[in-house]
Amino acid sequence: MIAKVGAVAERRTARNRPGPKRSPGARPTDDALLDAARSVFADYGFQKATMEAIAERADSTKPTLYAHFGDKEALYRALIAREADALSGWVTSAYETATDLPMEGQIQVYVMAMFTYASAHPESFRMVFDAKSLGDAARLRLVDTITERVAAQIRTYLVDSGLTLGRSVDLLASAMVGVVGKTAEATLSMGELDPLTAGEFVTGFITAALTNLDPSIMIAVDRGERRGEGQ
């Protein structure tokens, strides 16, 4: 299942990954310049990265960088937007493989989509989740997209179980996405952990949490009640 998720998502997002090295004299594409920028920002961080270093790594020139993107801040924003779109495409493609699975299977696909991306494209993943305030808009769009999709699947599962709930589902989806995103980020920062093994660990954690969740708590959230009121 994990291999299938990764294969489907990789095909969908291949256009966002580095292409073949360009021939001498060929004009660099936006993607080639952004690939170089991603590498330099990953190595040095936003503050220490320079347009000169990015141009050199792209086998290009500073005037070309400025012509394509403007200043370093604009280049950084464009890079984060591209990387967030790539991750969004990856997880969306993975989610499409989970539609007909039971709850446990859906949770595994949803969780492992993020961890397989972090494993396959650690530089890109770090770029999105380590982004400075300049990348907040792109990152928030990504998180909102994922959260909305997770909430929709939770609602479908609950309706099939005889429950129709409101904002408690949005709260639950936000919690799930937050746990997965932060633990995937932490896994990469620790260095010695295998992202796929960590993903299986988080899958078990979330599955146990959802399986043992008391529906009356969600109903209380929807009604705006404190626990124990209205009973």
* 151 within domain boundaries: yes
Burial class (CB in 10 A: 0-12, 13-18, 19+), 96: middle
* 231 within domain boundaries: no
* 87 within domain boundaries: yes
What is the pLDDT at residue 11?
45
* 95 within domain boundaries: yes
* 112 within domain boundaries: yes
What is the pLDDT at residue 129?
81
What is the pLDDT at residue 99?
80
Encoded tokens for 189: 């920062």
Sign of CA dihedral 192, 84, 153, 223: positive
Residue-range definition of the domain harbouring residue 183: 2-14+81-223
What is the pLDDT at residue 12?
46
pLDDT exceeds cutoff 60 at 55:
yes
The pLDDT tens digits for 105-162 are 989 999 999 999 999 998 888 888 876 667 778 888 888 989 998 898 888 888 877 8
Please tell me the number of Cα atoms within 13 Å of 109 on its side-chain side. Answer: 27
Q: How many domains does the chain have?
A: 1
Longest dimension (CA), the chain: 75
* 46 within domain boundaries: no
- For residues 125 and 2, give the distance between their C-alpha atoms in angstroms, rounded to a whole number: 18
* 228 within domain boundaries: no
The pLDDT tens digits for 155-194 are 888 887 788 888 999 999 999 999 998 999 899 888 788 9
Distance set, CA 41 to CA 66, 97, 146 (Å): 16, 33, 25
DSSP characters over 157-169: HHHHTT----HHH
- For residues 146 and 126, give the distance between their C-alpha atoms in angstroms, rounded to a whole number: 17
The pLDDT tens digits for 200-226 are 999 999 999 888 888 888 899 988 877
What is the pLDDT at residue 14?
42
The pLDDT tens digits for 1-52 are 544 545 444 544 444 444 444 444 567 899 999 999 999 998 888 899 999 9
CATH number at residue 89: 1.10.357.10
* 136 within domain boundaries: yes
Q: Structure pTM? A: 0.75
- For residues 127 and 181, give the distance between their C-alpha atoms in angstroms, rounded to a whole number: 13
What is the pLDDT at residue 28?
82
